[in-house]
Amino acid sequence: MYNTGRHVSLRMDKEHLVNISGGPMTYSHRLEEIRLHFGSEDGQGSEHLLNGQAFSGEVQLIHYNHELYTNYTEAAKSPNGLVIVSIFMKIAETSNAFLNRMLNRDTITRITYKNDAYLLTGLNIEEIYPETSSFITYDGSMTIPPCFETATWILMNKPVYITRMQMHSLRLLSQNQPSQIFLSMSDNVRPVQPLNNRCIRTNINFSMQGKDCPNNRAQKLQYRGKHYSSPPTTILKSDCTLRIVIL
């Protein structure tokens, strides 16, 4: 786990590979990195907005197409190169088991300053996923420079939970090294971008209201500034679920 000066970055070792397929993907993709985005206040911090509202943070699981490309660097600048699964973070009394292991005080204080790193073991990737098979997807770009438009985004339709104390601990992480002035890593998000006629697809059946949809109404996605009218939406087949394989 690293403090990059901009993100909390969790990078997988090469002995425990995690592949993802299904959903909108034609190819299998391999997990390369997990990044955390979060805000200086509870009402901001996610890189996507739903119905004009931001969440306190966003977990991004970044995968590369290992069937077509030999590594992440090659895939990031190539067609069908990346799949990024985004999971919103929401403040609650108890936290997600994966985040609880990652953000407990003994762990998170090990990466307070830029370039700090800590070896974290015993994580179960499956625990970061919320209990839903529903998602929203579109083709877009990475949110960090050079922002190649090679990414398929998959936004899970339920958040995971994080405590106020854990969010406070994230805000105490510095963009700088110890010898430099403290500057919080919070608000490490790209400004919202116009949709530019991108097609937004989903496997959510809006005609069936139920507990699987957080607010029981159609979601309008904003792609990290401008509001726009309801985007074109395509309902995917109901069997378009994501498959995670841990090797």
Domain 2-236, CATH among 3.30.70.20, 3.30.390.50, 3.30.565.10, 3.10.200.10: 3.10.200.10
- For residue 35, count CB atoms less than 10 angstroms from its CB and return exposed for 0-12, middle for 13-18, buried for 19 or more: buried
69 is annotated as an active-site residue: yes
Rounded distance between C-alpha atoms, residue 141 and residue 76, angstroms: 10
Q: How much is the pLDDT for 246?
A: 58
- Predicted structure pTM score: 0.85
Over the chain (247 residues), the average pLDDT of each successive run of 10 is 95 88 92 96 92 92 96 93 96 94 92 96 91 91 82 94 95 95 94 82 75 48 40 47 63
Domain map (residue ranges) of the chain = 2-236
Catalytic annotation, pick one of 2, 27, 64, 69? 69
DSSP conformation class of 239: T
Rounded distance between C-alpha atoms, residue 19 and residue 29, angstroms: 5
**Collapsed DSSP state (helix, strand, coil) of residue 48:** strand
**Residue 180: phi, psi to the nearest 5?**
-105, 165
**E strands in the chain:** 2-3, 8-11, 18-22, 29-38, 48-50, 57-65, 82-91, 135-140, 151-156, 160-162, 200-202, 221-223, 233-235, 242-246
Q: How much is the pLDDT for 240?
A: 61
